Amino acid sequence: MVSKQEQRSEETKKSILASAGVLFSSRGYDAVTMRDIAKEAGCSHTTIYIYFKDKEALLHQLSMPPILQLLEQVDTLLSEDSPPSDKLQAISLQVIEFCLVNRNMYNLFFTVKSVRVDEQTPEMAINQARNKLFGKLTESIQAVLGLDSQDERLLLYTRIYFFNLYGIIATYSNSDETVEQLMGRLKPTFAESFEVLLIGIRSKVK
């Protein structure tokens, strides 16, 4: 059983995290001040430092959990017993939905600057997670196209597939519609985009 204090503490932390998430994504990391976050979270700016080492730690804690969760979901889909192209489409829609749900944060982990490899920053961890996600998608695309993992065309068409996927996400990441509305309205469009793309790619690969 958690004490009332612990509960309040947890609430404060969550509030800070939520506020930071909203502000970072709407105004950008640099443009948001610790005092902005504090005001939004309804606490003093010093309180933030009780829960997070510094501003960068906030960014980190904000980015990792959702992306790890997405990785799990994708793994689950991959392990299911269904046709590869169904899997790919499911995964794609999953990624889209995930990014739109977390849309005010998605660019936190999709647009991380290229990181110097020599220092183990928290950004490194995000980078790794993102790369893993890319790897899983490649794997799924490979299964669909029936290409060898060394075939250089795999990289080419995975990239192109990505453009489509990322374009969808970027296009709607600033929408004011709810994710449900968006997905309900546009799922056929998305599915069609995958379909025509795969048709085109297949005509080239075989």
Contact set for a copy of itself, span 130-149 (CB under 8 A): none
**Toward DNA, which CB reaches closer, 56 or 180?**
56
Output the smallest distance, CB 148 to a copy of itself, in A: 19
Contact set for DNA, span 48-77 (CB under 7 A): 49-50, 54-56
Instruction: Out of 6, 75, 86, 148, point to the residue binding DNA (CB under 7 A).
Output: 6
* Strand, coil or helix: 185: helix
Choose among a copy of itself, DNA, none what residue 55 binds, the Cβ cut-off being 5 to 8 Å by kind: DNA
Output the smallest distance, CB 79 to a copy of itself, in A: 27
CB under 8 Å to 140, separation ≥6 — which residues? 78, 84, 87, 88, 91
* Strand, coil or helix: 205: helix
The answer to the question of residue 8 lying near DNA (CB under 7 A) is: yes
- Kindly state the number of chain residues that form the binding site for a copy of itself, as judged by CB under 8 A: 39
- Per-residue b/e over 21-43, b at no fewer than 16 CB within 10 Å? bbbbbeeebeebebebbbebbeb
Contact stretch for DNA (CB under 7 A) within 31-39, 74-82, 108-116, 184-192: 31-39
Which tokens is 72 given? 């799990």
Distance, in Å, from the CA atom of 105 to the CA atom of 59, rounded to the nearest integer, reads 10
Output the smallest distance, CB 136 to a copy of itself, in A: 18
Residue 152: Cβ within 10 Å count: 8
Instruction: Out of 70, 91, 95, 165, point to the residue binding a copy of itself (CB under 8 A).
Output: 165
* Strand, coil or helix: 83: coil
DSSP state of 149: T
Instruction: Out of 26, 27, 28, 46, point to the residue binding DNA (CB under 7 A).
Output: 46
**Toward a copy of itself, which CB reaches closer, 81 or 199?**
199
